[in-house]
Amino acid sequence: MKILILGGRRYLGPRLVKRLIDCGHEPVLFHRGRTNAPLPVESPIREVIGDRNQQGVLEELVAQERFDAVVDTLAFDAAGAERAVTVFGGRVDKYLVISSVACYGRLLHVPANENHPYVDSTRAFPMPSNEYSVGKRDVEQVMLAAYQRKGFPVIIIRPSVSYGYGRLFSIWGYSNRHVSRIRAGKQVIVPDTGEGLIQPVFIDDEAAIVERALVTDAAVGQAFNCAGPVAVPLWEYFSAHGTALGRPVQCVEIPSLYLEGFDPMLCVRASQNLVFNHAYDVSKLERVLRFQQFTSLEDGLRHTIAFQDQWGLVEPSADDPDDWIIDGYNASKVIKPRQQGEQLRRDRDYQLPEKSPLVTWAPDQYSA
């Protein structure tokens, strides 16, 4: 297939280019030339420099040559989606758009499958996170409506938080400073209890899922969750780094609101997002796309950290804001509910039972 990639020189693009080449396809990149992440392939890849929002540019490109499919990595709002439908409708066999599981907003249940309701005002993330969620929702609604009305051949891929090669994430957003902290034996911060579920996806798996969707006719008109094989609590995500590094990991619980107060720009991810559960049903990937060879979290992290070490990408942890936060919280007079409860028990001289009583749920309890 000859595949036009809108974007392609930042994060997913280079890995997708490699996957497409390995599978015998011909990728062509269309982007503004503002990012230059290296393409991990031996042969030169054709690139067209242009702005998709400039009137007539994409129209001229598709008028001059035929593409079998488009992969849109830069669809963020309804206006862009409407223009894509106008430009590419009737001109390509498949239009795959990279959406996000963020389109669901805060989940009603886990794991969420592809029929989970879209984000609304009752399940919105606080701003600015919600702007992204709503934008992805609007993109999907425009393109699915075009599929229903006139057969626009849309395929929707909804990645969870993705990682790999130059990208890792933490409570600071896409940051890998926690790798240095683990190596130095320092504590790693988790918001609240660190029990919020996340389901990271390795970027090479995401690229493979995109390729499978492009060659699967039954994928047209469908949406697919694109997440890793399992959901894990945030503390386990950091512990998996320890497995990859061969080092123990000690997580320290800091209230999410304390983190947001310290940095309402970067730590907002921890306070507004990572305390919620993010777990997704990925069975449709195997059922429709026949995709099942996921990379384990530990293997993906091991590969990613090795790559970042090779290129000197790991951030140092000297003079680290995490240390300031941990020291500041421990030294503050922040209300500590557990300690207050213990103090109340002592003040009231309340005696703890020797063991937790069990309730026998026998049917004869309800016979009278």
Please give the average per-residue pLDDT across 331-356, as a whole number: 83
CB 31 within 8 A of CB 25: no
Residue 360 lies inside a defined structural domain of this protein: no
Residue 231 sits in a domain of what CATH number?
3.40.50.720
Q: Peptide bond preceding 111: is omega within 30 degrees of 0, i.e. cis?
A: yes
Question: What is the distance between the alpha carbons of residues 112 and 100, in angstroms, rounded to a whole number?
Answer: 13
Query: Does residue 132 belong to any structural domain of this protein?
Result: yes
Is residue 29 a part of any domain in this protein? Answer: no
Cα distance between residue 207 and residue 216, in whole Å? 14
Q: In this model, does residue 367 exceed pLDDT 60?
A: no
Please determine, for residue 288, whether its predicted confidence score (pLDDT) is greater than 60: yes
> DSSP code of 352?
P
Question: Percentage of residues in the chain with pLDDT exceeding 90?
Answer: 70
The predicted structure's pLDDT at residue 127:
63
The pTM score is 0.90
Q: Is residue 119 part of a domain?
A: yes
Q: Are 225 and 285 in contact (CB under 8 A)?
A: yes
Average model confidence (pLDDT) for the chain? 91
Would 224 be classed as within a structural domain? yes
- Determine, yes or no, domain membership for 31: no
Q: Dig out the tokens for 38 from the structure.
A: 């290296």
Angle between helices 12-22 and 203-214 (to 10 degrees): 50
- Cα 19 from chain centroid (whole Å): 20
* N-terminal to C-terminal alpha carbon distance within the chain: 73
| Pairing of the two strands 232-233 and 162-163 | unpaired
Q: How would DSSP label each residue in 267-322?
A: THHHHHTTTS---B--HHHHHHH----PPPHHHHHHHHHHHHHHTT-PPP-TT-HH
Residue at 42 is within a domain: no
Instruction: Read off the pLDDT of residues 207-263 as tens digits, 9 standing for 90 and up.
Output: 999 999 999 999 999 999 999 999 999 999 999 999 999 999 999 999 998 998 999
Pairing of strands 197-198, 232-233: antiparallel
**Is residue 316 one of the residues assigned to a domain?**
yes
Secondary structure (H, E, C), 1-21: CEEEEECCCCCHHHHHHHHHH
Domain that holds residue 120: 75-331
Q: What is the pLDDT of residue 89?
A: 94
Domain count within the chain? 1
Query: What SS3 state is found at 215?
Result: coil
Task: Give the pLDDT band of residue 56 (cuts 50, 70, 90).
Answer: confident
pLDDT tens figures, 185-199: 999 999 999 999 999
